[in-house]
Amino acid sequence: MKQEIRSQSMQESYWKVDHPSGLTLLLYPMEGFSSAYAMMTTDYGSVDMSFRTDPLADFTRIPAGTAHFLEHKMFENEDGDAFAKYAATGASANAFTSFDKTSYLFGCADHFEESLRILLEFVTTPYFTPETVAKEQGIIGQEIKMYDDNPDWRVLFNLLKAMYVHHPIAIDIAGTVESIADITADRLYETYRTFYNLHNMVLAVAGSFSPEAVIRIADEVLRPAPTLKIEREFSEEPETVAQKRIEQKFPVAAPMFGLGLKVRPADPKTNETNSILNEIVNEVLAGDASPLYRRLYDAGLINSTFDSETDCGKDFAALIFSGESKDPDRAAQEILQEIDRLRKEGIDPAAFERCKKSVYGRYIRMLNRPDSIANAMTGAHFSGLDIYDLLEIAGSATLEQAQCRLMEDYRTEYAALSVISPQD
């Protein structure tokens, strides 16, 4: 089935195709562009460590880091390495694993059809042996150690460790050297058959391409997948944080911090909606035009590295403020005090309107880049939305909605601070 998804306000549209194989195709041709970007994503990430497909069976539990390990192994098939094939077409290929998704992607200026065929073929053709798994364990073990030496990575995952008591979001996406040692070829095949079922996946394409060509190649390469219902298991997570403060010494020139507020999660669609509204609140609170930003900057408590973000997934949500600071504890205290002030006094209407326009503008600019569009279509799809819904949520946000999010999500009693301080 082919469905046109149209935005009346933008006067643009794209196609959603329910392919007979079970794969959803999101096709966004862009007139006047010379390049194309394609991304194939499974609704499976690092937090999905316990699952079952039979409601009467026990849950299968897999080692931390399996999703990331599987991402690495998918590029290797019996007939060679996918990267070598992309080198022949001139496409730039990559992949990444997040907390709740794994994506395989390429960008190209020509040979699009050949590159798309490579993508569909290698993602649907797993090849694992005990020997190749053992080799990859050594490679990823070195990668884990490299991330352990990355202060930006450590300030984030130390923060998540402080915020979450049971949730696997606090575990490094790549797992640990010990956890990946338990990964076997059989476990990879079992996990692949569950989460790489085409009904659990989406292909998003944007830029210069022919939608008909995408459908034709999908018809040629893909075979119908069995219908599968995946049930995921997560331990109940308390609202309280695991610890208020965590600190690690590191060979850095300046102290770094991450201040996180633990948000009560809802369903994926509500999480995504609230996350966009919280982007506006973050802009009001700590954007570079806010009084707080100016005050912290003038006092030398932050610099140009300071940033805020909203993060959410199927069953988690968080607000994070981070950057370098000569006094991380004081910077965090100032941010929390400003939150309490806003909660007490309310959001200034003029500041809200200004920040709403700023956030809405970011979403509009997203439509100028094929990679941004493909990423946004994918995220919206797994949240039960379309890409134009994201623009509508930002553009039609009200002061009352922002005030509601401020009261519901910005609860300073559920904050944690992660500090990376220079070694003596």
Question: Helix or strand or coil: residue 234?
Answer: coil
**What are the angstrom distances between the C-alpha of 404 and each of 358, 383, 411, 415?**
20, 21, 12, 18
Residue 5, φ and ψ in degrees, nearest 5: -105, 115
Given the residues 71, 237, 334, 338, the one annotated as active site: 71
Q: Which of 62, 413, 81, 422 is nearest to 256 (CA)?
A: 422
Task: Decide: 198 and 21 in contact? Cβ < 8 Å.
Answer: yes
Beta bridge partners of 106: 38, 93
Beta bridge partners of 13: 6
71 is catalytic: yes
Name every residue whose Cβ is closer than 8 Å to that of residue 301 and which is 6 or more positions away in sequence: 325, 326, 327, 330, 331, 334
Strands (E), 208-306: 231-232, 245-250, 256-262
Name every residue whose Cβ is closer than 8 Å to that of residue 187 and which is 6 or more positions away in sequence: 62, 63, 66
Name residue 132's amino acid: T
Q: What residues are annotated to the active site?
A: 71
